[in-house]
Amino acid sequence: MRNATLALCCFLIAGPVLAQQPSAHPSSAAPAASSPSEPQTPPPPAHPLTDVQAKQMLEMTGANDIKKQLTQGMTNYFRQSMPFIPKDVMDDLEQSLDKLDMQTPIIAVYKQHISQEDADAIIAFYKTPAGKNMIEVMPAVMRQSQQLGIQMGRQTAQEVINRHRPEIEAAAKQYQQEHQPPAPSLNTPGSQQGTPPASSPNKPATTTPPSK
């Protein structure tokens, strides 16, 4: 039980280390209340970037490859987890994913955070050698940063668990005792122990008429 308890705690704490950002609200709506530690979402720009600017940014940063990566990831997952899946199902999945319009919702997200003026400056920067290098190395930077965060989070969680090991084991034992199902009984519900089941009434005796 000790190892299972520690494994469960590590699994729960070592999940995604980055919380989702709260969604942006329209300027006419009142902002939702948030805790002091929760990051604040800036209001949408007064002049969001245009569709042309957004598409140019998507093309320059390689974000248009998201659908290709999604299709490859989904098909590889199904092939590995369900190798028995019929070919026509996989073909339907690939065709359905290929028909997805991911650019429109992504552009809508861009418009919630980037203005026309900032888009011009960002596009100009992307055209410079430093900007091109930034685009090239950013996937590796984000991937390594996420792995580092997960590693540090797991190490910290393990240290906390080690400090509270007796407390966690005692709580797990108490929880198991409180939620243990009742022992099975041979008695049927509502019957008393040792009381034999009621017998069926005797059938009336049948007489055979005398033969003539």
Cα–Cα distance list, 77 to 72, 100, 193 (Å): 8, 18, 56
Q: What is the mean pLDDT of residues 11-18?
A: 38
Answer yes or no: is 14 within a domain.
no
Query: Which amino acid, one-letter code, is at 118?
Result: D
Q: Is residue 22 a contact partner of residue 41, using CB atoms and an 8 Å limit? A: yes
- The DSSP code sequence of 77-128 is HHHHH-TT--HHHHHHHHHHHHT---HHHHHHHHHHH-BHHHHHHHHHHHTS
Pair (56, 81) in one structural domain: yes
User: Domain check: are 108 and 51 in the same one?
Assistant: yes
Quick check: is 185 in a domain?
A: no
User: In the predicted model, is pLDDT for residue 51 greater than 70?
Assistant: yes
139-179 pLDDT, tens digit per residue, is: 899 999 999 999 999 999 999 999 999 999 999 999 999 98
Q: Which of 26-35, 50-59, 96-105 has the highest mean pLDDT?
A: 50-59
Residue-level pLDDT at 24: 38
Interatomic CA distance for residues 119 and 107, integer angstroms: 12
Residues 192-208 have pLDDT tens digits of 544 455 554 555 555 55
User: Number of folded domains in the chain?
Assistant: 2
How much is the pLDDT for 170? 92
Q: What pLDDT score was predicted for residue 98?
A: 87
Q: Which of 18-27, 59-68, 88-97, 202-211 has the highest mean pLDDT?
A: 88-97
Average pLDDT over all residues of the chain: 77
Same domain flag for 108 and 141: no
- Residue 78 belongs to some domain of the structure: yes
| Lookup: tokens for 137 | 């190395």
Is residue 2 a part of any domain in this protein? no
Residues 104 and 60 in one domain: yes
Cβ count near 119 (within 10 Å): 22
What's the domain range around 166? 135-176
Same structural domain, 60 and 121: yes
